[in-house]
Amino acid sequence: DTGVSQDPRHKITKRGQNVTFRCDPISEHNRLYWYRQTLGQGPEFLTYFQNEAQLEKSRLLSDRFSAERPKGSFSTLEIQRTEQGDSAMYLCASSRDSRALNTEAFFGQGTRLTVV
Amino acid sequence: GENVEQHPSTLSVQEGDSAVIKCTYSDSASNYFPWYKQELGKGPQLIIDIRSNVGEKKDQRIAVTLNKTAKHFSLHITETQPEDSAVYFCAARTGNQFYFGTGTSLTVIP
């Protein structure tokens, strides 16, 4: 499978616990995005990496959220002290950069987080 | 920032009929407009896209049109089939971000 891979697919956690999600992008893609999607809504941008550099962060990304992409390949998204409002589908996408001919963004299957 | 509006929120069609979903955007700097299909419990799947220098693009039963002047773009699905039933999202890219519409739940009735 050469698509975007996310792990785990589902996570149930107690309020106040920390969780970490992983995303493996398509190998030749140097851009990686994190989005959050709640029921009945479209994906909302959280943050974006160009290689290992985190270039943009949404106001939605509170200080409890941190994302890394240390070697410019896989990325992790950590949520500290989870709250019930963090319950959502967390989606990762990857694309080539804007200088490439094809800059389509491809999404993973998402990680469904439930905070109880 | 960009604001993408999508209509209708739900759409039911008979199998074989056409379905049209419309989106508007606000930022004239947006230059790329993908459409995604999302099935329950899965991530969005890119089905077609259009760039700002193109007015129309077709791929088998799916077509997308773009009117830059009016800032709207539409998805057309012809000869709908039950497996087309899903939630469809339009998006607009401005800079390095994609902005999504709120989705259209399409039901194709056999």
Tell me whether residues A43 and B100 touch, CB distance under 8 A.
Answer: yes
Say if residue A100's pLDDT is above 60. Answer: no
Q: Can you give the pLDDT at residue A34?
A: 97
Instruction: Kindly compute the dihedral angle of the four CA atoms of residues A49, A54, A58, A59, in this order, to the nearest 10 degrees.
Output: 170
A5 touches chain B (CB under 8 A): no
| Interchain contact A109–B (C-beta under 8 A) | yes
pLDDT in tens, A8-61: 999 999 999 999 999 999 998 999 999 999 988 999 999 999 999 999 898 888
Interface test with B, best of A106, A111, A112, A114 (most B CBs within 10 A): A106
pLDDT at A101 over 60: no
Tell me if A33 and B98 make a contact (CB, 8 A cut-off). yes
Q: Which residue is listed with tokens 């550099």?
A: A53
pLDDT value of residue B53: 85
| Residue B96 sits at the chain A interface (C-beta within 8 Å) | yes
- CA A14, distance to chain mean position in Å, is 20
What integer pLDDT is reported at residue A61 of this predicted model? 84
The per-residue pLDDT for range B25-44, each reduced to its tens digit, is: 999 999 999 999 999 889 99
Angle among Cα B55, A97, A35 to the nearest 5 degrees reads: 85
Q: Do A42 and B43 touch (CB under 8 A)?
A: no
* CB within 8 Å: A45 and B98: yes
Distance from CA of B35 to the nearest CA of A (A): 10
Distance set, CA A61 to CA A2, A47, A79 (Å): 29, 8, 10
